[in-house]
A and B are shown apart, each in its own frame.
Chain A
């Protein structure tokens, strides 16, 4: 079992829907990273967070350290949000970074 699990693996939505992608981890972490990989392969760093909540445009990331869980929300989803979303956890007191297997999101018009 991977120390970082994402759900769902695949997600389809209609344009305008509210999207939630979950990331759970089983180890202590110092920070959690959300990444977006476009269909063309390019990777964009969305958020790096260690507590609370961060917002950027229509994207919101939250983390609950006690529950070892983070969520990425997309409000008013759009077809251009179609991508693979990946979370990665920095393991506390180590140099280790463990990636989730990604969530493939497709938003249809």
Chain B
């Protein structure tokens, strides 16, 4: 049973395209996250989504938008893709919002996005 799943695993696309990455968790968690890991393996949090409240990292361009159709899903939409968007994107979830609690986060396997 996969706790946090992401699709697709790999995504190769042209600059300027719009793409989405899907994330689903079957843990009954209230909070989901998107992280970006760049080519230097540096991790950065992009969004936290908790009970319909979105917390955005202010450095994330507004071309990135998370969409949550329900509590178990948090999809990441990216418009007008740029070369610099190439990275591995990780989805995660936890029971309560990280930082306000010490609940464990569960990570998805990652989606490697390559923009050509």
In the bound complex, what is the Cα–Cα distance between A101 and B38 (angstroms)?
Answer: 12
Q: A41 near B: Cβ within 8 Å?
A: yes
Contact with B along A56-94 (1 / 0, CB 8 A): 000000000000000000000000000010101010000
Contact with B along A21-41 (1 / 0, CB 8 A): 000000000110101010001
Q: Which residues of A contact B83 (CB under 8 A)?
A: none
Q: A41-B88, A42-B107, A43-B90 are in contact. Are A99 and B42 (CB under 8 A)?
A: yes
In the bound complex, what is the Cα–Cα distance between A101 and B41 (angstroms)?
Answer: 8
Q: Which residues of A contact B79 (CB under 8 A)?
A: none
In the bound complex, what is the Cα–Cα distance between A50 and B42 (angstroms)?
Answer: 23
Interface centre among A35, A37, A43, A44 (most CB of B within 10 A): A43
In the bound complex, what is the Cα–Cα distance between A45 and B105 (angstroms)?
Answer: 6
Q: Is the CB of B106 within 8 A of A45?
A: yes
Q: Chain A interface residue count: which class?
A: 20 to 34
Q: Is the CB of A102 within 8 A of B98?
A: no
Q: B44 near A: Cβ within 8 Å?
A: yes
B interface residue numbers (CB < 8 A to A): 41-45, 48, 55, 57, 88, 90, 92, 98-107, 109-110
- Which applies to chain A's interface (DSSP): helix, strand, loop or mixed? strand
In the complex, the chain B residue whose C-beta lies closest to that of A48 is B102
Q: Which residues of B contact A19 (CB under 8 A)?
A: none
Q: A31-B102, A48-B103 are in contact. Are A99 and B43 (CB under 8 A)?
A: yes
In the complex, the chain B residue whose C-beta lies closest to that of A86 is B43
Q: Is the CB of B98 within 8 A of A33?
A: yes
Q: Is the CB of A45 within 8 A of B99?
A: no
Q: A31-B99, A95-B55 are in contact. Are A44 and B41 (CB under 8 A)?
A: no
Q: Is the CB of A97 within 8 A of B42?
A: no
In the complex, the chain B residue whose C-beta lies closest to that of A95 is B55
Q: Which residues of A contact B55 (CB under 8 A)?
A: 95
Interchain nearest-CB distance for A2 vs B (Å):
10
Q: A41-B110, A43-B107, A99-B44 are in contact. Are A49 and B99 (CB under 8 A)?
A: no
